[in-house]
Structure 1
């Protein structure tokens, strides 16, 4: 390995350990901005079962992410060609959401974000901003624990990609084929700011039937039963997420108040406490503009 690459790896590890001290889970990245470690299952006979690291080996992308300095050093030792690091989104304690404002000749993503902010009446608070080598910007925001924000490309507006659960942001200090990612002046000392509620609503998965009127009568009852069954089918690790999603859909479809008690009962059957269930449902109510 060239001396410059060794220096880049050493610097990337130092930056990654510093990020981990702030509670940000990290993985090593290659110069192409992809996870530096290949999947240990790449040669498994097809169809291989889906593994998110349960096998105990490295190479599961964002699922390898950690804040443990011992594990981070082991990850970088296994990928001595790494020159950067990725920061996993959606994980506690920050539940990071990344707004990736791209720069293209035919797209002004900053103007698109300003237009969204004016239309939906929100303001991006002071937060961490990372400058990309291509001239783009990454804005770091935090979300509530119960809200699972999906990754998307251009869904919010042209040139704006979202990094949410299962995604990652290239960390400042990372060196890629196109240059170095750097924190924007005056933002390095900031903590990721809470995502404005109006923006958070735009980032959540859209309702299944956004073009239809709220269900009524027997149809509404069947819809409510479907949301309750959706909660009942939750496995450990999905319970709050499914409950929050179902409650949001219920309030958006006009049956939220009527479905509170059935959803609480369903949540209790999955193992949540009554307090956890009611807190999650109340959060969904507030997010959708209702009073819990």
Structure 2
């Protein structure tokens, strides 16, 4: 198994994709967290997370995978990838529930576009990963359910499990087309946020855009760097802090959810936990701040 997984890691690296080890039979990073960081070696100048430590160096890969049958993680951002994750429903009690492939196909139909054909990997749970080359001029980040239900994307701040890895006896395996294609223009348009426009302060409490951008960057960084045991609380606090800008119209809910979802997952929180925490935080903050604005008026 070690030889098989080492080859899977080397194959990905040969494509220019930056890889790092995942715990055997799981999709969780096998690298140490910040609280356990020895501040030596790669972390001599400060803790480096999995995205920074992912590599294409075959010697480093062989040395890492010699220790255990690690699954293979691909850091999508440094690899120049955007991966569309078409998930399957977690609740298997309803066989009629549409999966991510079906909701993505419906999205393509609504936009008048064919379902893109590109390198595809079937996941251990039966979902699909569609691999695309990311646009060089735009730094895309993760999304969770923004495009359609059970459709997530992974770019900067995200990773996917590479073909050849196994979870619960089921393998990630390449299926269908092998050719890697660029992100279609229509899909890129849905993922790239609108260019920020400076808005003057008004009587409703709107602020100049630079202030809003600084607040978004500050809260996103705080969530990304949160330590284990504080991550969910930090995400909740950040969502409530930024929700007031959604209530005032200075940020869209999608802007906040996309930024904080990516930050939460980068810090190590599960996707579903991030979604639930953000939904709760933003619902509370938007309702509270809209009420405050009406009372002030």
* TM-score bin (small chain): 0.5 to 0.7
The question of 1:85 aligning with 2:76 is answered no
The question of 1:161 aligning with 2:152 is answered yes
State how far apart, in whole Å, the 2-side matches of 1:149 and 1:229 are.
19
Paired residue for 1:103? Answer: 88
How far did 1:197 drift? 1.3
Aligned ranges 1:119-130 → 2 under 5 Å = 119-130=110-121
The question of 1:15 aligning with 2:8 is answered yes
Distance 1:202 1:12, change over 3 A: same
How far did 1:196 drift? 0.9
Distance 1:225 1:159, change over 3 A: closer
How far did 1:103 drift? 1.3
Distance 1:227 1:144, change over 3 A: farther
On the 8 A contact 1:27/1:85 being kept in 2, the answer is yes
On the 8 A contact 1:28/1:75 being kept in 2, the answer is yes
State how far apart, in whole Å, the 2-side matches of 1:226 and 1:9 are.
51
Distance 1:179 1:58, change over 3 A: farther
Aligned ranges 1:243-262 → 2 under 5 Å = none
Paired residue for 2:189? Answer: 201
On the 8 A contact 2:37/2:43 being kept in 1, the answer is no
State how far apart, in whole Å, the 2-side matches of 1:34 and 1:228 are.
31
Distance 1:20 1:217, change over 3 A: closer
- Normalised by the length of structure 1, the TM-score is 0.60
Paired residue for 2:55? Answer: 66
RMSD over aligned CA atoms reads 3.5
How far did 1:91 drift? 2.0
Distance 1:121 1:59, change over 3 A: same
State how far apart, in whole Å, the 2-side matches of 1:205 and 1:228 are.
13
Paired residue for 1:265? Answer: none
104-113 or 132-141, which moves further after superposition?
Answer: 104-113
- Normalised by the length of structure 2, the TM-score is 0.59
The question of 1:143 aligning with 2:134 is answered yes
State how far apart, in whole Å, the 2-side matches of 1:58 and 1:81 are.
24
Distance 1:81 1:111, change over 3 A: closer
On the 8 A contact 1:130/1:172 being kept in 2, the answer is yes
How far did 1:144 drift? 1.1
In structure 1, list runs of 5 or more residues that go unmatched: 1-7, 209-213, 231-252, 254-292
State how far apart, in whole Å, the 2-side matches of 1:65 and 1:12 are.
16
On the 8 A contact 2:31/2:50 being kept in 1, the answer is yes
The question of 1:34 aligning with 2:16 is answered no
State how far apart, in whole Å, the 2-side matches of 1:124 and 1:224 are.
37
Distance 1:57 1:128, change over 3 A: farther
State how far apart, in whole Å, the 2-side matches of 1:206 and 1:164 are.
18
SS of residue matched to 2:5:
helix
How far did 1:62 drift? 2.8
Q: How many residues matched?
A: 205
